[in-house]
């Protein structure tokens, strides 16, 4: 079982605040790191797929960075909006798990007006 | 529309009965996955399949079985050997196991065993 850790477990911010979450993972045999957003009553949707050390990706107000050598990724949300409220999942792919996606427990974000 | 369909959305079964959860995709994806979610837990991998007629156990495969006879379909059977079958089950697919592409998910099936 791959140990993919996410912190914090939950977060409550005010509209307009910027926030960030952490995903930690074993750095050996790294293949890819995925971020997904899971809104209530919907299916998880991909935000980013990152494969290279030092990768930085951005989609609107959301961005992510990747450090494969030390085994962590950060997800940043700038100027949070109520519609950003969701659970944010990171998932690791590496050769130890046959390249299947192994998920962390997620960070639950609530943004209030 | 292309996507993944899981059915049914809610399923109730009596203890000791086997039950099969359906997962169909029309995305022409080779890889398919089954995950289970319990309260306070993340998505835990049950089984995955890289290609037709091939599948591998995930972290919590005990008490479950799968088949992959067609590319589009990856049904999951929850057997009576599964100690705590009540959970939310998610199916996903991706173009392949390798390659930098994301997974697409179904809407999930909530199974309650009474």
Rounded Cα gap, residues B58 and B41, in angstroms:
16
Q: How many residues comprise chain B?
A: 114
Query: For strand B43-51 and strand A5-7, is the pairing parallel, antiparallel, or unpaired?
Result: unpaired
B58/A101 Cα distance (integer angstroms): 10
- Band (A1; pLDDT cuts 50, 70, 90): low
Which tens digit of pLDDT belongs to each residue from B71-88?
999 999 999 888 899 999
Could you tell me whether strands A62-67 and A56-59 are parallel, antiparallel, or unpaired per DSSP bridges?
Answer: antiparallel
Whether B100 contacts chain A with CB within 8 A: yes
Neighbours of B3 (CB within 10 A): 14
Q: What is the per-residue pLDDT for A97?
A: 78
Give the tokens for residue A47: 């935000």
| A25-41 tens-digit pLDDT | 999 889 999 999 999 98
Residue A68 has pLDDT above 70, yes or no: yes
Q: Using a CB-CB distance cutoff of 8 angstroms, which residues of chain B are in contact with residue A103?
A: 35, 42-45
Nearest C-alpha of chain A: how many angstroms from B46? 11
Q: Could you give the percent of chain B with pLDDT greater than 90?
A: 82
Q: Is the peptide bond before A8 cis (omega within 30 degrees of 0)?
A: yes
Say if A59 is an interface residue toward chain B (CB within 8 Å).
no
Selecting from B40, B102, B107 the residue whose C-beta is nearest the C-beta of A34 gives B102
CB-based contact, A14 to chain B, within 8 Å? no
pLDDT of B54 strictly over 80: yes
């Amino acid at each position: 079982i791959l140990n993919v850790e996410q912190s914090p477990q939950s977060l409550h911010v005010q509209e307009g605040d910027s926030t960030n979450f952490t995903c930690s993972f074993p750095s050996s045999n790294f293949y890819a790191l995925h971020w997904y957003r899971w809104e209530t009553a919907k299916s998880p949707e991909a935000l980013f797929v990152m494969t290279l050390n030092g990768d930085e990706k951005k989609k609107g107000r959301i961005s992510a960075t990747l450090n494969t050598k030390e085994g962590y990724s950060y997800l940043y949300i700038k100027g949070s909006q109520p519609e950003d409220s969701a659970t944010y999942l990171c998932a690791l792919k590496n050769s130890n798990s046959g390249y299947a996606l192994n998920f962390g427990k997620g960070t639950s974000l609530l943004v209030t007006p | 529309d292309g996507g993944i369909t899981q059915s049914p959305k809610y399923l109730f079964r009596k203890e000791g009965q086997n039950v099969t959860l359906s997962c169909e995709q029309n995305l022409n994806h080779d890889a398919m996955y089954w995950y289970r979610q319990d309260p306070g837990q993340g998505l835990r991998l049950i089984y995955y399949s890289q290609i037709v007629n091939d599948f591998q156990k995930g972290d919590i495969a005990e008490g479950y079985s799968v088949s992959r006879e067609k590319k589009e379909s990856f049904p999951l059977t929850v057997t009576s050997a599964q100690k705590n079958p009540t959970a939310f089950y998610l199916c996903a697919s991706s173009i392949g196991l390798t390659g930098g592409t994301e997974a697409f998910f179904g809407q999930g099936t909530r199974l309650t065993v009474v």
